[in-house]
A and B are shown apart, each in its own frame.
Chain A
Amino acid sequence: MVSSINPSLKGITVLIPGVLLSFSFDIYTPLVFLIFMMLFTFLFSGIPLKKWLLFFTPFIIVALGFAWMTMLYTSESFAGGEHLFSIWRFDVTTGAVMTGISLALRSLCFITLSLLFILTTDSTKFMLSLMQQLKMPPKLTYGILAGYRFLPAFRHEFHILKQAHRIRGVGRARGIKDRLEQMRRYAIPLMANAIRKAERVANAMESKGFTGSHNRTHYHYMKINKKDWMFFSVINGALVLTFVSSYFLGYLNIFGIRVG
């Protein structure tokens, strides 16, 4: 189960392919890795397929949009190849189509990697792991954790604020000036309350003996063991294999320069 992998290492594991793939402008490399990542997600992540599709599907449209735009606006260096067709003033070449499809596949890889992380990681454990493994200062860690708790309260308060202003007879904002004025009216009470709350939480935390020092014990002791390194090796090993096979098959294209 991916949810039991150490969050910091999991983050690094998915970040590496995310960065490296962005250099490959061919179709083969991201396609193979995407298929691998999807198989991995379905087989080992423990994320229900339905839930995953719910998050993933909207991004297909986004990725297609990216591809379309890139196809039309491909920069000179990639736009080689045969002239295929023209739309209005844009000439579309095979090079442009390839670049477009590649970008779409890369975006989908990135989404798949992100979903694997987001849908299997508990936010609290992620912060605790950043503190324990990557030595993030406790002040920052617990500050962010306390901030999580504010979000639902903030939304609730915004809702009440809108009601209260409606009662006062403030109509719907029309035009930019009105909207800015409305934003200001909402911002002041929300900020005033947020500052007060933040101060109270800070006082409460210090009263519980929190000093911000690294000298503390850990209830949730986060460690990195064999299983975590295995996860790292499988994902990044697959990435290396993808690149290598792409190279030997002659598809690999780094930044528009064919290296195969």
Chain B
Amino acid sequence: MNAKPLNSKQLLMEVSDFSFAFEEESPILNQLNFSLFSGECCLVAGASGSGKSTLALCLNGLYPDTVEGETKGNISCRSQNIADFPQGKLSQSVGVVFQDPESQFCMMKVEDELAFVLENQQAPRERMQEAIHSVLKETGMLDQKHALIHELSGGQKQKIALASVLLMEPDLLILDEATANLDPMSSFEFTRLIQQVRQKRNCAVLVIEHQPDDWMDIVERVLVIGKEGTLLADDSPDNIYGAGRPLLIKEGIHIPLSYQEDRNVHKNPPQMHGEKLITLQNVSFSRKNKSILQNINVTFHRGEFIAIVGENGAGKSTLLQLLARLLTPESGNVKLDGIPLQDWTERELRRISGYVFQNPEHQFITDTLYDEVAFGMKLNGEKEIDAKVQELLTAFQLEQFADANPFAISGGQKRRLSVATMLDDTPDILFFDEPTFGQDAKTTKELMRLITELREQGTTIIFVTHDMELVDEYCERVLLLLEGKTAFDGSPEELWSRKSLLQKARLRLPYSMRKERAYGIVN
């Protein structure tokens, strides 16, 4: 399916017969052949572990120099082999914005980080102020010039990462899952910013993304990389997501929502109003004299599936921690099953409730998957532990890793294990703190299937998330926090109709609700 270049633009990068392998391992990238042209916007699609991020680092020359790895074949930039570029020069033509907003910087202040880039290029000091000013203006971050980077939001950090790359005036801009760790609104804003930058600078853009929905109106070409690291397809989005769809499904690659016309969302799960399970009365909480939650009054019922949503810093995680008694409210009271939460014994409380953290690794305490699942059962003094552990491992498709170390399995498997460890005794209530954050589509889907099953067995699910698609598809009730107060408590459908509220809370409508609107943004 090797298509001709879509237009007769100038050749920028040429990858010929390129393979890359870490020492003594099977190749991550295998015999790749493709070209990138100046000014085009190209998407690299592929399942987890297909070497997409490795490709980014090979294109900007970091690999194989910085790792023990072997390459075969060639990559050239403007007809010059990249191996012949002097150290530090290639990264100026090929700039990368990485996934994790927390680990892309080495300086404390925005201004200093940008200066760091200019210093690396040995730009004269007199010109730095002007360059920093203009790139901050371009990315809309001028007000943050003197801000501390760690105090910025994720979306702002990514804009600073972009600004520092733009200072090098790259011909090719690689976005290596740059929006995967952002909330939907920030992610959308970032894609719009890239569109502006591209129009102004006419640089080529290579987008590497698991869920490229927001990029689809800029992407002109799609490269599909398979699990073995080979190039499976190179064509226009319409062809890839049209005729090429069976291939994508086979490879487990996400199909953008805009191409999923036949998408059947099993919306509106049955309303299950059981008895009262948790009641909060006038609950307030503050940290270091800063009020986080004020006068929260909510009742959760048995068997409900509730999403807690809101902007970063609105107090979602704090509320969840209060419900799980990981924090104690400053005033007001929380009752679980009619009994004040503080009167529960630790053991009993942990037995009937579970809490799944954003990073599954934080929950692991033993050396094998088997021990991990058996741990809670041993604490409860259960019998027939062996049979139960096997059953759980099988149900979560982890049986073949029973003796493996929890840290050594894949991201999706870790996610499943973190849920399995909470199920030693079917819990009455499960808390989830953004469990799908930064996960690929397949892991998210699997997790949601598990949660739905648990719910059908009567477990109450309380779920903190940014993802309105999930809220729309699975939840019967949504609690919106705004500046530490409950701003909305009701059904998702009702929330979608409250436009000004959504805008205030920086929430994005789910795709199906956006379709009617021009650009799908509440505005």
Sample of 14 A–B contacts (CB below 8 Å):
A124-B107, A149-B108, A167-B354, A168-B365, A189-B362, A201-B105, A205-B106, A206-B66, A209-B92, A209-B117, A209-B120, A209-B121, A211-B88, A216-B122
Q: Which of chain A's residues 184-215 have a Cβ closer than 8 Å to chain B?
A: 185, 188-189, 192-193, 197-198, 200-211, 213, 215
Q: Write out, one digit per residue, whether chain B residues 353-386 have a CB within 8 A of any chain A CB (1) or not (0).
A: 0110101011111000000000110010000000
Interface pair B57/A203, CB less than 8 Å apart: yes
For residue A221, give the distance in angstroms from its CB to the closest CB of chain B.
6
Q: Write out, one digit per residue, whether chain B residues 316-351 have a CB within 8 A of any chain A CB (1) or not (0).
A: 000001001010000000000000000000110010
Q: When the two chains form the complex, which single residue of A163, A169, A189, A207 contacts B96, counting CB atoms closer than 8 Å?
A: A207
Interface pair B98/A208, CB less than 8 Å apart: no
Interface pair A204/B350, CB less than 8 Å apart: no
Interface pair B125/A208, CB less than 8 Å apart: no
Contacts of A205 in B (CB 8 A): 106
**Chain A interface main SS type:** helix
Tell me if A226 counts as interface (CB < 8 A to partner B): no
Tell me if B512 counts as interface (CB < 8 A to partner A): no
Q: How far is the CA of A193 from the CA of B321 in the complex (A)?
A: 23
The residue on B at minimum CB distance from A185 is B365
Contacts of A163 in B (CB 8 A): 321, 326, 357
Contacts of B168 in A (CB 8 A): 208-209
Known: A170-B365, A208-B168, A209-B88. A216 touches B120 (CB 8 A): yes
Tell me if A153 counts as interface (CB < 8 A to partner B): yes
Interface pair B357/A197, CB less than 8 Å apart: no
Interface pair A203/B66, CB less than 8 Å apart: yes
Contacts of B89 in A (CB 8 A): 209
Q: When the two chains form the complex, which single residue of A201, A215, A216 contacts B103, counting CB atoms closer than 8 Å?
A: A201
The residue on B at minimum CB distance from A211 is B88
Contacts of B363 in A (CB 8 A): 164-165, 167-168
Tell me if B91 counts as interface (CB < 8 A to partner A): yes
Interface pair B106/A217, CB less than 8 Å apart: no
Tell me if B407 counts as interface (CB < 8 A to partner A): yes
Tell me if B211 counts as interface (CB < 8 A to partner A): no
The residue on B at minimum CB distance from A153 is B102
For residue B278, give the distance in angstroms from its CB to the closest CB of chain A.
16
Q: How far is the CA of A259 from the CA of B353 in the complex (A)?
A: 75
Known: A192-B407, A201-B106. A142 touches B376 (CB 8 A): no
Contacts of B326 in A (CB 8 A): 163, 166-167
Q: Which of chain B's residues 105-126 have a Cβ closer than 8 Å to chain A?
A: 105-109, 112, 115-125
How many residue pairs, one in A and one in B, have C-beta atoms under 8 Å apart?
148
Q: Which of chain A's residues 109-144 have a Cβ closer than 8 Å to chain B?
A: 124, 142
Additional pairs, 19, CB under 8 Å, beyond known A148-B108, A203-B62, A204-B106: A142-B116, A160-B362, A166-B350, A168-B375, A168-B376, A169-B346, A188-B407, A189-B364, A189-B407, A193-B359, A203-B98, A204-B96, A205-B106, A206-B91, A208-B116, A209-B88, A209-B168, A215-B122, A217-B118
Residue picked from A157, A169, A185, most chain B C-beta under 10 Å: A169
The residue on B at minimum CB distance from A221 is B125
Tell me if B95 counts as interface (CB < 8 A to partner A): yes
For residue A93, give the distance in angstroms from its CB to the closest CB of chain B.
51
Q: Tell me the B residues contacting A by CB distance below 8 Å.
A: 57, 60, 62, 66, 87-89, 91-92, 95-96, 98, 100, 102-109, 112, 115-125, 128, 149-150, 161, 164-165, 168, 321, 324, 326, 346-347, 350, 354-355, 357, 359, 361-365, 375-376, 379, 407, 421
Interface pair A169/B128, CB less than 8 Å apart: no
Contacts of B112 in A (CB 8 A): 124, 219-220
Q: How far is the CA of A211 from the CA of B119 in the complex (A)?
A: 11
Q: How far is the CA of A124 from the CA of B57 in the complex (A)?
A: 29
Contacts of B407 in A (CB 8 A): 188-189, 192
Tell me if A61 counts as interface (CB < 8 A to partner B): no
Contacts of B102 in A (CB 8 A): 153, 197
Interface pair A192/B120, CB less than 8 Å apart: no
Tell me if A161 counts as interface (CB < 8 A to partner B): yes
Tell me if A50 counts as interface (CB < 8 A to partner B): no
Tell me if A58 counts as interface (CB < 8 A to partner B): no
Q: How far is the CA of A161 from the CA of B347 in the complex (A)?
A: 18
Contacts of B88 in A (CB 8 A): 206, 209-211, 213
Q: How far is the CA of A193 from the CA of B125 in the complex (A)?
A: 36
Residue picked from A152, A171, A204, A215, most chain B C-beta under 10 Å: A204
Q: How far is the CA of A168 from the CA of B57 in the complex (A)?
A: 38
Q: How far is the CA of A145 from the CA of B112 in the complex (A)?
A: 11
Known: A208-B120, A217-B123. A200 touches B103 (CB 8 A): yes
Q: How far is the CA of A215 from the CA of B122 in the complex (A)?
A: 7
Q: Write out, one digit per residue, whether chain A residues 144-156 have a CB within 8 A of any chain B CB (1) or not (0).
A: 0110110011000
Contacts of B379 in A (CB 8 A): 169
Q: How far is the CA of A150 from the CA of B431 in the complex (A)?
A: 28
For residue A107, give the distance in angstroms from its CB to the closest CB of chain B.
32
Q: How far is the CA of A8 from the CA of B437 in the complex (A)?
A: 44
Known: A168-B376, A211-B87. A202 touches B66 (CB 8 A): yes
Known: A160-B362, A219-B115. A145 touches B164 (CB 8 A): no
Contacts of A217 in B (CB 8 A): 118-119, 122-125, 128
The residue on B at minimum CB distance from A163 is B326
Known: A217-B123, A218-B119. A165 touches B103 (CB 8 A): no
Contacts of B161 in A (CB 8 A): 204
Contacts of A167 in B (CB 8 A): 324, 326, 350, 354-355, 363
